[in-house]
Amino acid sequence: MQQQLIDNFERKFEYLRLSITDECNFKCNYCLPDGYQRSHQKSFLSHQEINNLVIAFAELGTKKVRITGGEPSLRKDFTQIIASVASVDGIEKVATTTNGFQLEKQAKDWFDAGLSAINISVDSLDANTFHLITGKNIFQKVMRGVQASLKAGYAQVKVNSVLMKGVNDNDLALFLNWIKTEKIQLRFIELMQTDDNDAFFNKYHLSGESIKARLLAEGWQQKQPLSHDGPAQVFKHPEYEGEIGLIMPYSKDFCKSCNRLRVSSTGRLHLCLFGEEGVDLRDLLGNSCDKEALKQRISNALKDKKISHYLQQGITGGTPHLASIGG
Ligand code: SAM
Ligand code: SF4
């Protein structure tokens, strides 16, 4: 019988977020405002280690893997990693989250390699604001990347936008206009507090509730959550091709539908973005991978998963920024 990862609160984990690098070439003001600074001497998981890891997770019931970072496409073997993750028995969906700088050139190659879904971060539809937020003056290039993804054949193209008070909240009308004709799920993510962004968080955090109220007032309807939606609240409107997803980690019950585990680019299992030190899996991932011991360590670790994060109390669990674990 297929094994399953179920925690003490009856949550089932079929979704792995796998970081393959913590390096990034952007300087998003909420994430790496001073740019990437290497804080460890460890190597990133090798292609072989990634393979061994994903096989073990698949045997524990994982069906979906999101390859993330840092910026995953900075890895030269990114396309090969996609192909091997997609070929693991039991993995039905391979997704990635990217800042989009390689998309214009690579969207089709990644699709052909087996990538089935893609999330692209676009925090503003105004080129200057995009530049201010990301430190990169390449808004048009990223937008051409979004178009290339829509053409490439992906089952799902999502755009992530981190909500920031007074920075991009005025872009809502532009965003809505955009998805009137584009089959994109636009996901507004509430800014989350991390160890490094305290002051920024206090100044710019904006609750997604105000967006939700506006959507409902304008005729958007909340969809019944699907089991694989995770904590996103999704809205649709008969006059729009696209959808809106709201990710509100500060809302009540956000963690009730948690369906994901994370492994960092150096091989630590994290039960929550804002949880703990993580459990090292690296010694079991090498050439002589001990798959049964690896599966056992993952299953045992899950017994310690807490019922929720404690972000509301300002407890960020020691996560310096989301690039460090893989957002
Ligand atoms: N570099 C890729 C990217 O930006 O899409 C993948 C990694 S990034 C850490 C993953 C997602 O986390 C992005 O959509 C980013 O906007 C989001 N993110 C990063 N820091 C965040 C924060 N403090 N609060 C909310 N979302 C954040
Ligand atoms: Fe890089 Fe993504 Fe963090 Fe922006 S959000 S700095 S693109 S890792």
- Residue 143, classed as helix, strand or coil, is helix
**Per-residue model confidence (pLDDT) at position 249:** 83
At 24 the pLDDT is 97
pLDDT of residue 258: 86
pLDDT tens figures, 177-220: 999 999 999 999 999 998 889 899 999 999 999 999 999 999 99
Ligand 2, atom 3: closest residue by C-alpha: 31
Residue numbers in the chain where pLDDT is lower than 50: none
What's the CA-to-centroid distance between 322 and ligand 1, angstroms? 6
- Token pair recorded at residue 315: 């407890």
User: Of 105, 109, 135, which Cα lies nearest the Cα of 121?
Assistant: 135
Q: Ligand 2 center to residue 292 CA distance, Å? A: 35
> Count of CB atoms within 10 A of residue 39's CB?
9
In this structure, the residue with its CA closest to atom 4 of ligand 2 is 28
Q: How many CA atoms lie within 13 A of 276 on its CB side?
A: 17
Q: How far apart are the first and last CA of the chain?
A: 32
Phi and psi of 247, rounded to 5°? -110, 110
Domain ranges, ordered by start, for the chain: 15-156+251-324
DSSP H or E run through 50: helix 47-59
CATH topology of domain 15-156+251-324: TIM Barrel (3.20.20)
Strands 117-121 and 156-163: parallel
Distance 127 CA to ligand 1 centre (A): 19
Give the pLDDT score at 229.
64
For residue 159, which ligand has an atom nearest its CA? 1
Cβ count within 10 A of residue 307: 11
Which numbered ligand comes closest to the C-alpha of 192?
Answer: 1
Which ligand minimizes its atom distance to the CA of 122?
1
Q: What is the pLDDT of residue 316?
A: 65
The closest of 180, 324, 166, 171 to 242, measured between CA atoms, is: 180
pLDDT in tens, 218-250: 999 999 877 666 778 999 999 999 999 999 888
CB atoms within 10 A of CB 11: 17
Q: Which residue has the tokens 């994982």?
A: 62
